[in-house]
């Protein structure tokens, strides 16, 4: 039985003080001793340490939004895996569609980052997903399969990996993939992983859905057999909404 995982990706929102407040509000909403599913918060890099202090001692985990694939050195503006780990993060999100779209990330840079993070002991949420044009052109399956295959190229052990399926057309648009549409792609991703790693490994892999998840649609999405939680953008900026989504995942 795969334990569901719900992560709030706060993207480029909130100052350090606002992030601390939001983390405190999330904890208050979840209630003490919450353990229904795995929960992560992903504030801006600047607020990682401060949010880490708020969630210390709880089951909520700290998640970074990106990393670089080199150890250290002359990469102005970048953040290394070692720096991220030192803040207490347990996960890093890699290959988010906004990184691919606005910052030139490709399957091969995603692959370098995933390798680096996993090798250095940081768990990974690797994002994949198609644009509206790709969906309308009927290439969703081929595109997502190649994102998975190329992102995982040369990686033997995926026990510390989660895949997030985030259709680009559903991110921040209010358009959610229907539960059936999402399930179809999640099932396809698991089939690709079966081919790469075998049934046993694939059946353990958690595949999150992301894209306009809200309290009103979370339960239906999480009830699908291959949807193992959510990567939540907009709704994670509201503690009550995020907690409602987490609770929906815990009850599935």
The binder of ligand 13P chosen from 233, 239, 246, 247 (CB under 6 A): 233
Q: Residue count at the site for ligand 13P (CB under 6 A)?
A: 14
Structure tokens at 129: 């997903």
- Strand 91-94 relative to strand 123-128: parallel, antiparallel, unpaired? parallel
Decide: 89 and 96 in contact? Cβ < 8 Å.
Answer: no
172 binds ligand 13P (CB under 6 A): yes
Which helix (H) or strand (E) element contains residue 35? none
36 binds ligand 13P (CB under 6 A): no
Give me the helix-helix angle, 140-151 and 107-119, nearest 10°: 40
Comparing CB distances to ligand 13P, the nearer of 109 and 217 is: 217
Q: Binders of ligand 13P among 190-229, rule CB under 6 A?
A: 210-213
- Strand 123-128 relative to strand 38-42: parallel, antiparallel, unpaired? unpaired
105 binds ligand 13P (CB under 6 A): no
Residues 6+ apart with CB under 8 A from 197: 158
The answer to whether residue 186 is catalytic is: no
The answer to whether residue 78 is catalytic is: no
Burial label, 241 (beta-carbon count in 10 A; 0-12, 13-18, 19+): buried
166 binds ligand 13P (CB under 6 A): yes
The binder of ligand 13P chosen from 197, 207, 234, 238 (CB under 6 A): 234
125 binds ligand 13P (CB under 6 A): no
Structure tokens at 67: 């990393």
Residue nearest to ligand 13P (CB): 233
Comparing CB distances to ligand 13P, the nearer of 19 and 212 is: 212
Catalytic positions are 96, 166
Kindly list the residues in this chain that would bind ligand 13P in the complex (CB under 6 A). Answer: 9, 96, 166, 171-172, 210-213, 231-235
């Amino acid at each position: 039985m795969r334990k569901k995982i719900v992560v709030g990706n706060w993207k480029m929102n909130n100052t350090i003080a606002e992030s601390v407040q939001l983390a405190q509000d999330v904890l208050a909403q979840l209630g003490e001793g919450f353990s229904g599913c795995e929960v992560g918060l992903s504030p801006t890099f600047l607020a990682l340490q401060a949010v880490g202090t708020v969630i210390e001692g709880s089951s909520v985990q700290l998640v970074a939004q990106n990393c670089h694939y080199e150890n250290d050195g002359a990469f102005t503006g970048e953040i290394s895996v070692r720096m991220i780990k030192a803040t207490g993060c347990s996960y890093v999100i890699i290959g988010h569609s906004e990184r691919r779209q606005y910052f030139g990330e490709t399957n091969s840079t995603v692959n370098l980052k995933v390798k680096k993070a996993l090798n250095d002991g940081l768990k990974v949420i690797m994002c994949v997903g198609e644009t509206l044009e790709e969906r309308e052109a009927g290439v969703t399956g081929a595109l997502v399969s190649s994102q998975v295959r190329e992102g995982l190229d040369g990686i033997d052990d995926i026990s510390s990996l989660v895949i997030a399926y985030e259709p680009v057309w559903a991110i921040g648009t209010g358009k959610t993939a229907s539960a059936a549409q999402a399930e179809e792609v999640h099932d396809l991703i698991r089939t690709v992983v079966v081919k790469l790693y075998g049934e046993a490994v694939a059946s353990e892999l958690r595949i999150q859905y992301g894209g306009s998840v809200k309290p009103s649609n979370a339960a239906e999405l999480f009830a699908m057999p291959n949807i193992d939680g959510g990567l939540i953008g907009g709704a994670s900026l509201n503690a009550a909404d995020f907690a409602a989504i987490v609770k929906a995942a815990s009850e599935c």
